[in-house]
Amino acid sequence: MRLCLFLFLVSKLCNGYSTKLNFYPPTCQRIECPNYDLIESGKDYEIRRYSSPMWMSTAPIDDISYVSATRTGFLRLFDYIQGKNNYHETVKMTAPVIIQVKPSDGPFCVSSFVVSFYVPKKNQPNPPPAEGLHLQKWGKTYVAVRQFSGFITDDDLPREAAALSASIAGTKWAAAIDKSHAADNTTLYTVAGYNSPFEFKNRVNEIWFTFDLDKALAI
């Protein structure tokens, strides 16, 4: 209860601060993050290729608020890494925590959010299962990325997603993303957060458009 209250107060105090950053997330110098290859660095965007990352994920959380859904999912995953899993095994914290978002059709309708924790390489051969969580094994995945900072608010997401879409408009990546998403209507965009709720400086967030380049080229 105290943790939930703290997260709520922090989000209220820090709403609205959002600005683009241009550096590798400092968090990844302290804890494990998934490896990727930088394919292209454009104006206000990057194209990355992730090599088969593995994620422990919540079931879809239906909510009108990203902030509320993320809090619910994060607390469930926090319990998981603290040992509330079938193996009663603690798991080291990693980054980023990602939230796959399928937005609603209207401003007051329920959206769907899947919150995921990157599984450390040490645990990937046999990740502890847990009730209410499932494993996602990505194949080779391309990602268009935009960075921004601050504590994320519900208003940030459509604005940052639109900015990423504008940045890649007219590129071969935009066409590949459109083709890839036409074949998979489950997630419109993904939010990646690299900081704990207790970090106030140098916060790094990212909007991701994931896509399968090989499949898009084959369509």
pTM: 0.86
- Residue 1 falls inside a structural domain: no
Residue 5 lies in a domain: no
Helices 156-168 + 172-182 axis angle, to 10: 120
> Count of domains in the chain?
1
Tallying the residues shown for the chain, one arrives at: 219
Is 8 part of any domain?
A: no
Residue 133 near residue 56, CB atoms below 8 Å: yes
Q: Give SS3 for 94.
A: strand
In a domain, 124, yes or no: yes
pLDDT tier, 25 (very low <50, low <70, confident <90, very high otherwise): confident
Chain center to CA of 80 = 18
Q: Quote the CA–CA distance of 60 and 48 in Å, as a whole number.
A: 26
Residue 183: band (very low, low, confident or very high) from pLDDT cuts 50, 70, 90? low
pLDDT at 72 over 70: yes
Please check whether residue 83 lies inside any domain of the structure. Answer: yes
Q: Considering the domain boundaries, does residue 53 fall inside one? A: yes
Q: Is residue 159 part of a domain?
A: yes
Omega before 127 within 30 of 0, i.e. cis: no
Output the domain CATH number for residue 178.
3.20.80.10
